[in-house]
Amino acid sequence: MAEEQDLLERPERPEIIAPGYTFGTVTDQISAVVLTKKTPIFWTACFGVGFALLLLFLWSVVLLFAKGVGIWGIRPPVMWGFAITNFVWWIGIGHAGTLISAILLLLNQRWRNSINRFAEAMTLFAVACAGMFPVLHLGRPWLAFWLFPYPNTMAIQPNFRSPLVWDVFAVSTYATISALFWYVGLMPDLATLRDRTTSRFARFTYGIMAMGWRGSARHWSVYETASLLLAGLATPLVLSVHTVVSFDFTIAIVPGWHSTFFPPYFVAGAIYCGFAMVLALAIPLRSVYGLKGLITDKHLDNCGKIMLATGLIVAYAYLMEIFTAWYTANVYEHEAIWHRMFGPYASSYWSLVMCNIIAPQFLWFKKIRGNPVLLFIWAVIVLVGMWLERFVIIVSSLAQDYMPSSWGLFHATRWDWATYLGTIGLFMFLFFLFIRVLPMISIFEVRTLLPQAKVEEEEAPR
């Protein structure tokens, strides 16, 4: 008896989800978003914008295929332009989803349970957007399969010393594991939707997708093993993908690119802007769908803190970049940084400093982290800042490298912008489609957060 009393009096950590939820209400609330016939205007509007931009994307891609990459602003010496900037930006956004789903799972950070599903979806769609750019950028995209080492009559292999080839493997592995992880995590919830829907078509579709999930103890045991294994596989991917992306730059000896700390710096930047995207999606969604009890202020606060921490690592990187450029006593390194700060791209550089270093310092204050509207604005600022960062790294280093006679500036054309905005459209299109037809929050994982689930949770083998 005395022991029970002790247990009751034990100081609990602040609850991750709002009080008052039961297993039933959690399931009701999350599945209702999908199973209802009524679609909120917010959804229709966002989906519409996404669809319109997707059409813009299709238009620009058709034009690109018809006329060639010349419709973009890429000219020697700046051959990487927007396409690679967007590639790095999009793939970075994906990283937060993997961090949340894999690393935070392994670290027993249970608050992740209510944001991991849509963050993983975000990862998938961001990787889809990212993966298209290198292919579109090839000029002859129909020959993209040359990047794979397939057996061919000419006995030609891709150059395995090139990080661009490593990219092919890194990104395709990443896409595969992310898709698997996301789908495996969905299965119990698909079965819930199958059991709850009243429409025959929906029951049939969800039923097929749930792969015969019955929720037996054996299913759960296999499920737990699979998800831990996938989390273990996905964890190194959080680091490896952006590390390989950073090798695209560092392996080249271009001034401003060949810097040894690029791998961790790129990874930190990726997580930074990924969490910004998580916030930019979570904040509107939770108000529109009334999910503030599940995605609480505590979640936003935690995401804000991670943004601040990774933002500080990025700030450290900028500081070391400038210091080391001076410390090298190498005229090309000096010039590379000097051009960035005071050259033709100075406005982009200082904007990114504002967005990525100055602005996030406000996140030290709990007031800002506790205010969803401000946090949303801050997240958008960081997204813009991180895009500018990649743009400045790529374009300024290529535009002015060793010989002044080979210098040349980059000017984006309207098709550069159209392709970029188009992928934002593709992302929105896919994401809102996902919101409409699949549960955006993991139903069964949120149920484990409830106080009622506590006993079972603690007896479960870890």
Q: Binding residues for another protein, per CB under 8 A?
A: 6, 10-11, 13, 161, 239, 243, 247, 250-251, 253, 258-264, 312, 316, 319-321, 324, 327-330, 364, 458
* Cα separation of the two ends of the chain: 28
189 vs 321, beta carbon nearer another protein: 321
The nearest distance, CB 12 to another protein, in angstroms, is: 10
The nearest distance, CB 360 to another protein, in angstroms, is: 13
Kindly write down the DSSP assignment for every residue of 4-43, as one continuous string.
HHHHHHSPPPPPSS-TT--HHHHHHHHHHHHH-S---HHH
The nearest distance, CB 167 to another protein, in angstroms, is: 15
The nearest distance, CB 230 to another protein, in angstroms, is: 17
CA distance 294 to 17: 5
164 vs 380, beta carbon nearer another protein: 164
CA distances to 93, 348, 435 from 177, in Å: 16, 35, 21
82 vs 247, beta carbon nearer another protein: 247
CA neighbor of 349 nearest in space, from 357, 358, 340: 340
172 vs 328, beta carbon nearer another protein: 328
Look up residue 148 and give its DSSP letter. S
CA neighbor of 295 nearest in space, from 454, 441, 92: 441
Burial 167-196 (b: 16+ CB within 10 A, else e): bbebbebbbebbeebbebbbbbbbbbbbeb
Which residue's entry shows tokens 């990787």? 127
46 vs 450, beta carbon nearer another protein: 450
The nearest distance, CB 179 to another protein, in angstroms, is: 25
CA distance 307 to 300: 10
Contact 40, 436 (CB under 8 A): no
The nearest distance, CB 255 to another protein, in angstroms, is: 11
200 vs 458, beta carbon nearer another protein: 458
The nearest distance, CB 169 to another protein, in angstroms, is: 16
150 vs 364, beta carbon nearer another protein: 364
